[in-house]
C-alpha cells in the first residue's frame, strides 16, 4: 500500500540550493563555462556558485529541474538528494545519478563524487525539508495560497481526502498529499509538486518518532492547523499519552491563523496556542461545526450545523448530504473537513458554498485499507488493514457492528497485532480483545503474537467466549475462508506489518 513519490519539475538555481540548505558546494572535476559564456575551471571545493549559473560540457545551465530521491525515476537535469534509509543509502547511487544526467546532488559531508557537482550538508533529509520550505515560501509570496495541515492519531488520511474535496469545491485547484506521504520525505516531495495553477493546499502530517511533527510544522507553516485526536500510536517511538499529545500539538506551533480540534479532545484543546483562532468540531453542542444527526448504514445521511458567524447573514447554517463512508468516526471527519475548509476562508460561507460542500462530501470514496467496503462472494468485507491502534479499533468495531445490524447479518472479525506500542502493548491488546468481544461477533480470529498473548490473558474472563488464534495472516486467511459464509459481514484489521490484507485476498 506504499504510495509512489510523485514526479515534480520544481526549479532552483544551484545558488538557491546552497543558500536554502546551508550547504557547501563541491564542484566536479570537469571544466565549465560560466553564464556569460567565458570558459574556465570548475569552482574549487567550497567555492560559491556564480550568480549567473554555469554551463557544463553536457549543456546544463547549472539550474535544477526537478528534485528526486530515486535514480530509477529521475530525469535529466534533476537534483538528486542522497537519503540514507533502513535498506539502502542514496550515496551508493551517485554514479547512477550522474549517468542519468543529474545537475547536482545533495550529499552528507564527505560523501561527494568527483563526477558530479554536490552540495554537502550535515543531514540530507533536513536539507530536503529546507528546500521544500523555500519552494513553498516563494510560491506563497507570489500569490495567496491558503494552506491547512492535518495531523492526529487516527483518521488523518480520510479527513485529508474529505478536506481536499471541500477545499477544491471552495477554492479550485488544490494540492493535497497523495496517499500516505505524510512524513519528512513525503511532505517535501509533495510540496515540490506545487505549481502556479494551485489555489490552495491540504497537507497531511504524521509521525512515529518524537520531534517529527515540529520539523514538519517548520516546513509547512500552515495558515490553519488541524489536530484530530490523541491516542496510543507508535508509543515505542513517541512515549506516553502526554508525550504523544505534545508531539501532535506541535503542528499548531507555526500556524498563523487558526487551530482546528475536536470539542471532545481536551488533550488537544489545552495545547492550542492562545494567539490562534480556535474552531472546534464534533457532536458536542458547543462545537462550532456540529454533527446534528446521522443515519446508519453502508451509506449515511448526515446533517451538520455550522456556527452562525461561519455563514453569511440570513444563510441557513446546515450542510446535509449522504456519504459513502462507514461509521460515526467518518461522519465526524466530515465535520472536521468542513471546519478546516471554512477556516481557510477570510469571509463567511454563502448558501451556494454550503451546497458545494455537501456535493463534494457526497462523492468522496473510502481510502483503500481504511474502512473500505466491498462484496466478495456475497460477503460484505470491511477492509481496515492499513494500520491499527486502540482508537481505530474501536471505530472499526462500531462501524462493523452497525453495518451487520443494518443488514441483519452475522459479524465475523479477523484482527491482527497493533505494532509499535512499546510498554503499553500488552494492556492495549488485552483491551482490544475485550472491545472485540463487546461487539458480539459470531467468530473472532486473533492474529499475531501480541494478540495471541492477550487472548491467553483475557480468556480467563468469564464473559469472554472462545477466541480462535492464528500465528500470522497467511494462516488466518485459511481459517477465515472456512468460517465465513455468504451474507456475513467480515471486518479485517491490523497494523501494516501484519499484512492482514492476505485474509481478504484469500476470499477472492
pLDDT at 234: 53
Per-residue confidence band for 463, with pLDDT thresholds at 50, 70 and 90? low
The fraction of the chain above a pLDDT of 90, given in percent, is 82
Asked whether this chain's domains 11-122 and 143-362 adopt the same fold, the reply is no
Pick the CATH number of 11-122 from 3.40.50.740, 3.40.1390.10, 3.40.50.1100, 3.30.420.40: 3.40.1390.10
pLDDT at position 217 over 90: yes
Pick 265 or 458 by higher pLDDT: 265
Q: Torsions phi, psi of 31, nearest 5?
A: -85, 160
Contact 331/322 with Cβ under 8 angstroms? no
Other C-beta atoms lying within 10 Å of the C-beta of residue 378 = 10
Write down the pLDDT at residue 236. Answer: 60
pLDDT tens column, 43-62: 444 444 444 343 333 334 57
Greater confidence (171 vs 87) lies with 171
Percentage of the chain beyond pLDDT 70 is 91
CATH fold, domain 372-507, is 3.90.190
Residue 262 binned pLDDT confidence (cut-offs 50, 70, 90): very high
Mean pLDDT over all residues of the chain?
90
pLDDT average, residue stretch 345-371: 96
Provide mean pLDDT across the span 191-219.
96
Q: Is the pLDDT of residue 493 over 80?
A: yes
| pLDDT at 112 (0 to 100) | 86
Give me the pLDDT at residue 168, please. 98
Q: Return the CATH number of the domain spanning residue range 143-362.
A: 3.40.1190.10
Quote the pLDDT of residue 43: 45
Tell me what pLDDT residue 508 has: 80
Rg of the chain on CA atoms, in Å = 25
- Beta strands in 134-185, from DSSP E residues, in sequence order: 147-151, 174-176
Residue 59 CB-density burial (10 A; 0-12 exposed, 13-18 middle, 19+ buried): exposed
Indicate whether 42 pLDDT > 90.
Answer: no
Under the banding of pLDDT at 50, 70 and 90, the label for residue 450 is very high
Which strands, in side-by-side order, build the sheet including 67-68? 24-26, 118-121, 104-108, 79-81, 67-68
pLDDT interval class at 213 (50, 70, 90): very high
For residue 248, which of 283, 206, 219 has the smallest C-alpha distance? Answer: 206
Determine the average pLDDT of the residues in 186-213: 96
CA dihedral (225, 229, 230, 236) positive or negative: negative
Residue 240 has pLDDT above 90, yes or no: no
C-alpha torsion sign, points 405, 406, 409, 410? negative
Phi, psi of 370 (to 5 degrees): -125, 85
What pLDDT, on a 0 to 100 scale, did the predictor assign at position 460? 64
Candidate from 85-89, 107-111, 258-262, 478-482 with smallest mean pLDDT:
85-89
Read off φ and ψ for residue 34, nearest 5 degrees: -75, 175
Banded model confidence at residue 421, pLDDT cuts 50, 70, 90: confident
Reduced 3-state DSSP string for 207-267: CCCCCHHHHHHHHHCCCEEEECCCCCCCHHHHCCHHHHHHHHHHHHHHCCCEEEEECCCHH
pLDDT for the residue 1: 54
Domain boundaries, the chain: 11-122, 143-362, 372-507
Amino acid at each position: 500500500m506504499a504510495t509512489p513519490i510523485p514526479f515534480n519539475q520544481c526549479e532552483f538555481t544551484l545558488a538557491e540550493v546552497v543558500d536554502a540548505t546551508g550547504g557547501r558546494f563541491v564542484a566536479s572535476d570537469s571544466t565549465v563555462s560560466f553564464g556569460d559564456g567565458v570558459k574556465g575551471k570548475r569552482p574549487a571545493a567550497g567555492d560559491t556558485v556564480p550568480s549567473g549559473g554555469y554551463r557544463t560540457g553536457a549543456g546544463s545551465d547549472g539550474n535544477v529541474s526537478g528534485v528526486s530521491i530515486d535514480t530509477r525515476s529521475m530525469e535529466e537535469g534533476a537534483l538528486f538528494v542522497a537519503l540514507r534509509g533502513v535498506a539502502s543509502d542514496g550515496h551508493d547511487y551517485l554514479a547512477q545519478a550522474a549517468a542519468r544526467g543529474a545537475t547536482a546532488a545533495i550529499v552528507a559531508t564527505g560523501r561527494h563524487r568527483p563526477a558530479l557537482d554536490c552540495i554537502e550538508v550535515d543531514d540530507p533529509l533536513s536539507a530536503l525539508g529546507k528546500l521544500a520550505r523555500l519552494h513553498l515560501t516563494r510560491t506563497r509570496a507570489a500569490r495567496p495560497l491558503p494552506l491547512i495541515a492535518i495531523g492526529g492519531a487516527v483518521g488523518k488520511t480520510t479527513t485529508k481526502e474529505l478536506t481536499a474535496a471541500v477545499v477544491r469545491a471552495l477554492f479550485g485547484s488544490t494540492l493535497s498529499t497523495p496517499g500516505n506521504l505524510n512524513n519528512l520525505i513525503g511532505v517535501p516531495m509533495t510540496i515540490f509538486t506545487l505549481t502556479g495553477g494551485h489555489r490552495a493546499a491540504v497537507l497531511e502530517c504524521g509521525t512515529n518518532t518524537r520531534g517529527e511533527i515540529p520539523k514538519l510544522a517548520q516546513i509547512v507553516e500552515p495558515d490553519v492547523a488541524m489536530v484530530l485526536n490523541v491516542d496510543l500510536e507508535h508509543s515505542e517511538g513517541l512515549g506516553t499519552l502526554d508525550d504523544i499529545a505534545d508531539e501532535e500539538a506541535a503542528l499548531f506551533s507555526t500556524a498563523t491563523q487558526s487551530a482546528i480540534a475536536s470539542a471532545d479532545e481536551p488533550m488537544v484543546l489545552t495545547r492550542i496556542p492562545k494567539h490562534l483562532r480556535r474552531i472546534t468540531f464534533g457532536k458536542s453542542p458547543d462545537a462550532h461545526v456540529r454533527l446534528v444527526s446521522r443515519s446508519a448504514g453502508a451509506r449515511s445521511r448526515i446533517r451538520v450545523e455550522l456556527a452562525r458567524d461561519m455563514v453569511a447573514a440570513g444563510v441557513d447554517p446546515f450542510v446535509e448530504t449522504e456519504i459513502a463512508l462507514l461509521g460515526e468516526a467518518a461522519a465526524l471527519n466530515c465535520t472536521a473537513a468542513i471546519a478546516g475548509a471554512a477556516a481557510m476562508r477570510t469571509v463567511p460561507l454563502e448558501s451556494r458554498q454550503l451546497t458545494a460542500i455537501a456535493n463534494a462530501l457526497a462523492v468522496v470514496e473510502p481510502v483503500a485499507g481504511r474502512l473500505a467496503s466491498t462484496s466478495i462472494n456475497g460477503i460484505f468485507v470491511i477492509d481496515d488493514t492499513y494500520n491499527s491502534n486502540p482508537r481505530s479499533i474501536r471505530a472499526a468495531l462500531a462501524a462493523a457492528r452497525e453495518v451487520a445490524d443494518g443488514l441483519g447479518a452475522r459479524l465475523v472479525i479477523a484482527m491482527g497485532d497493533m505494532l509499535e506500542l512499546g510498554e503499553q502493548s500488552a494492556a492495549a491488546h488485552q483491551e482490544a480483545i475485550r472491545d472485540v468481544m463487546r461487539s458480539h461477533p459470531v467468530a473472532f480470529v486473533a492474529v499475531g503474537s501480541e494478540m495471541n498473548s492477550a487472548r491467553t490473558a483475557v480468556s480467563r474472563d468469564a464473559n469472554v467466549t472462545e477466541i480462535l488464534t492464528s500465528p500470522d495472516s497467511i494462516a488466518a486467511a485459511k481459517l477465515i475462508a472456512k468460517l465465513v459464509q455468504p451474507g456475513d459481514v467480515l471486518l479485517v484489521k491490523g497494523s501494516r506489518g501484519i499484512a492482514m490484507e492476505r485474509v481478504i485476498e484469500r476470499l477472492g
